[in-house]
Amino acid sequence: MPRPRAKPTDPAIKAAALETARQCLARLTIDVTSWNEQGMGPTDGPENRRKHAAAFVRNALRPGAPASIRRIASNVALPIITQEAADGRTDPNARRDDILIYAVQRVCDQHDLKPTRRSEAESGCSIVAEALSGFLKELRKYPDELLATFPDNDEYRERRRWADTELRKLPEKLFPEGALSEERLNNIWGERPH
């Protein structure tokens, strides 16, 4: 007997799921922005990324470290140290894909959706693909918005340089092929480590 087709997803659920996905995707920028603001260089490559994550954790453990730094260390840096060291992956997109997988899982868990689409109903991958497109548009605008907040003086020269160069490159660095399609996210989901 054929399965009945699922109804389209309620617009309120879809809107809430998109917001959940956007919150998860913000983690894509935390690695770069938080470490650069701590005076550390770029985090290209797994070994360099682990080294920066370890330094970030050491800073978070210092007396008087702000709660926001401790949260970033716990939520971002520690998983990099433990996961990337354990699985030995060398794929430069591994960390990015981990965050995308986390976003799909979180959307599914919080909004009772399936990871991949089987009918007209939305899926975790379709929601994350839609949120990713909007996220990248906002990320491209962010350097100009940030530069507008920095005074044009010597004290902010390094921050202005970083925002105008490194931060401006971030969308293409994270997604050189542009926003990922739902099909590509389905593939990433299917290839995830179990």
Please spell the DSSP secondary structure of 60-112, one letter per residue. Answer: HTSTT--HHHHHHIIIIIHHIIIIIHHH----TTHHHHHHHHHHHHHHHHHHT
Q: What is the mean pLDDT of residues 170-181?
A: 87
20-32 in b/e form (b: 16+ CB < 10 A) is bbbebbebbbebb
Q: What is the mean pLDDT of residues 141-169?
A: 84
Cα atoms found within 13 Å of the Cα of residue 184, Cβ hemisphere only:
12
Provide the residue count of the chain: 194
Q: What is the mean pLDDT of residues 92-111?
A: 88
Does residue 32 register a pLDDT over 50?
Answer: no
Between 42-51, 53-62, 72-81, 176-185, the lowest mean confidence (pLDDT) is in 42-51
Q: Are 60 and 70 in contact (CB under 8 A)?
A: yes
Q: What is the mean pLDDT of residues 158-185?
A: 86
Residue 7 CA to residue 27 CA, distance in Å, equals 32
Surface-to-core class of residue 134, CB atoms within 10 Å of its CB (0-12 exposed, 13-18 middle, 19+ buried)? middle
Between 3-17, 43-57, 136-150, the lowest mean confidence (pLDDT) is in 43-57
- Work out the percent of the chain whose per-residue pLDDT is above 90: 28
Contact residues for 115 (Cβ-Cβ < 8 A; gap 6+)? 104, 105, 108, 123, 124, 125, 189
Does residue 39 register a pLDDT over 50?
Answer: no
Q: Residue 89: its pLDDT value, please?
A: 56
